[in-house]
Amino acid sequence: MNKIEVKNLDLYYGEVQALYGVNMQIEEKEITAFIGPSGCGKSTLLKTLNRMNDLVEGCRITGEVLLENTDIYKDMDVYQLRKRVGMVFQKPNPFPMSIYDNIAYGPRTHGVRSRVALDEVVEDSLKKAALWDEVKDRLKKSALGLSGGQQQRLCIARALAVQPEVILMDEPTSALDPISTAKIEDLALELKNAYTIVMVTHNMQQATRISDKTGFFLMGKVVEYGTTEQVFSMPREKETENYITGRFG
Amino acid sequence: MRNRFDEQLETLNNELIKMGSLIEYAIEKATDAFITQNNDEAEMVIRFDKEVDDKEKQIEGLCLKLLLQQQPVARDLRQISAALKMITDMERIGDQAADISEIVMMLGRYPELKEMIHIPKMAEATIKMVKESIDAYVKKDLGLAKQVIDYDDVVDDLFVVVKDELIELIRSNVKQSEAAADMLMVAKYYERIGDHATNIAEWVIFSITGEKTI
């Protein structure tokens, strides 16, 4: 089943067009990877999926982005959208507060007040993000004291705390060491059983290891979109082949 | 971009071509030793097998290094994985040339081959298959690779003919039965060489198209 459908999407930053006629169907409970050189539009498309581009001045779009057949730009409250479509960024960005409060922040803003309910959400989210065992004895300590890899898993736990359906990840491991990277990759594979994951990555091997589908972007266009196995073993387009084999340009 | 990787792939290509020449030489000489009943030549082929084995080890090392260092995908991955599989078949062809030569040395004098024209024909057909499978790799020639695969039927049919000839030989002259059994093994080695050439051709097709015909 398609979780997200992008139809004829053009995106402009002022006069500059950043995306051209993007059409894409993102399958539910799969990991979809976006790859391509810097400035190709992959992060821009990722951000349109939960309207992060609304914050960019002069940004406008034409076309449609549908979340379960509902147009997220026309027929959905942005607050509701971001509850359903969470995001994890390249650099871990925990709030300067305790581990517990980081996780409880989202549910609190959505009106959860009961201590018992919050305790439950915190434990559940940290367990899902494979961080609980490492932090259960210091939940009241500052999140800033965690390692980079732990901080990134905390950010994933924070995204999970509001019970989203889709998790967007923008190069979630590019600032992490190989061990932390492996933990995030294992986590993504575990999470896809319950969530739809869309990930931007510059790490080709990561895309081949964990994603089901891969989209290759170049100069604002989706050059090729298919199963990861097909894209990395028998790419249809010459440009894809040149990029993934490192002979781009 | 990736100039060093491209150079390494070119080296891999050249080494495979060299290994191809080595096994072509080995079967041609083994066949010649068989037909002319030349023990010195047979002995040379047996010793020569070490060169084929060494070349296999060298290419295997190069492939593993490329997999480790370059983490290849798409056509690069196909080329390197095909090379790894092909050298196993090439190495076996080298072994079988040596096996044929060992039998040549054991046989001593054996019946006039004029009467068994089909063993040399089989040898000729398998040499053609090996040469063309390597040519197909060098020229990335899909059509030629497919021809090699089809030609295996010719070798298989010749094996049946040779077997019938040898049964006839045993019937007509029981004293020749031991030699006939040895010659049946020679024929079987050629038939196996044809199978390995078929495998090589199948890996050539995989490296060009990504299609596994095996």
Residue pLDDT, tens place only, A2-50: 999 999 999 999 999 999 999 999 999 999 999 999 999 999 999 999 9
Side chain identity at residue A237, one-letter code = E
Average pLDDT of the residues of chain B: 92
| Residue A13, strand partner residues | A16, A59
Residue A66 lies in a domain: no
Residues B23-56 pLDDT 10s: 999 999 999 999 888 999 999 999 999 999 999 9
- Asked if the Cβ–Cβ distance from B72 to A233 is below 8 Å, we say no
Residue A149 lies in a domain: yes
The CATH number for A39's domain is: 3.40.50.300
Residues of chain A in Cβ contact (below 8 Å) with chain B: 204-205, 208, 232-235, 241, 244-249
Chain B: residue whose CA lies nearest to A206: B71
Chain B: residue whose CA lies nearest to A246: B2
Residues A152-210 pLDDT 10s: 999 999 999 999 999 999 999 988 889 889 989 999 999 999 999 999 999 999 999 99
Q: Is the pLDDT of residue B111 over 90?
A: no
Nearest CB to A235 within list B2, B5, B74:
B74
The pair of structure tokens assigned to B202 is: 């199948």
- Chain A CB contacts of B210 under 8 Å are 233-234
- Asked if the Cβ–Cβ distance from A205 to B71 is below 8 Å, we say yes
- Asked if the Cβ–Cβ distance from B75 to A247 is below 8 Å, we say no
Q: What is the dihedral of CA A24, A25, A31, A36, to 10 degrees?
A: -10
Nearest CB to A234 within list B2, B72, B210:
B210
Task: Tell me, yes or no, if the pTM score tops 0.90.
Answer: no
pLDDT at residue B158 in the model: 96
Range of the domain at A239: 27-52+77-244
Chain B: residue whose CA lies nearest to A230: B74
- Chain A CB contacts of B76 under 8 Å are 245
Is B7 in the A-facing interface, judged by CB distances under 8 Å?
no
Distance of residue B67 Cα from the nearest chain A Cα, in angstroms: 12
Nearest CB to A241 within list B2, B5, B74:
B74
In chain B, domain spans: 3-209
- Asked if the Cβ–Cβ distance from B74 to A234 is below 8 Å, we say yes
Which of A233, A245, A247, A248 to mutate to test binding with chain B, by most B CBs within 10 Å of its CB?
A245
**Average confidence (pLDDT) over A77-85:** 93
- Chain A CB contacts of B9 under 8 Å are none
ipTM over 0.85: no
SS (H, E, C) chain B: CCHHHHHHHHHHHHHHHHHHHHHHHHHHHHHHHHHHCCHHHHHHHHHHHHHHHHHHHHHHHHHHHHHHHHCCCHHHHHHHHHHHHHHHHHHHHHHHHHHHHHHHHHHCCCCCHHHHCHHHHHHHHHHHHHHHHHHHHHHCCHHHHHHHHHHHHHHHHHHHHHHHHHHHHHHHCHHHHHHHHHHHHHHHHHHHHHHHHHHHHHHHHHHHHCCCCC
Residue A200 lies in a domain: yes
Q: What is the dihedral of CA B26, B31, B36, B39, to 10 degrees?
A: 50
Strands A31-35 and A213-218: parallel
Nearest CB to A249 within list B1, B73, B78:
B1
- Asked if the Cβ–Cβ distance from A246 to B5 is below 8 Å, we say yes
- Chain A CB contacts of B71 under 8 Å are 204-205
Domains held by chain A: number: 1
Residue A15 lies in a domain: no
Task: Assign domain B3-209 to its CATH architecture.
Answer: Up-down Bundle (1.20)
Give dist(CA A227, CA A236) in Å, integer.
11
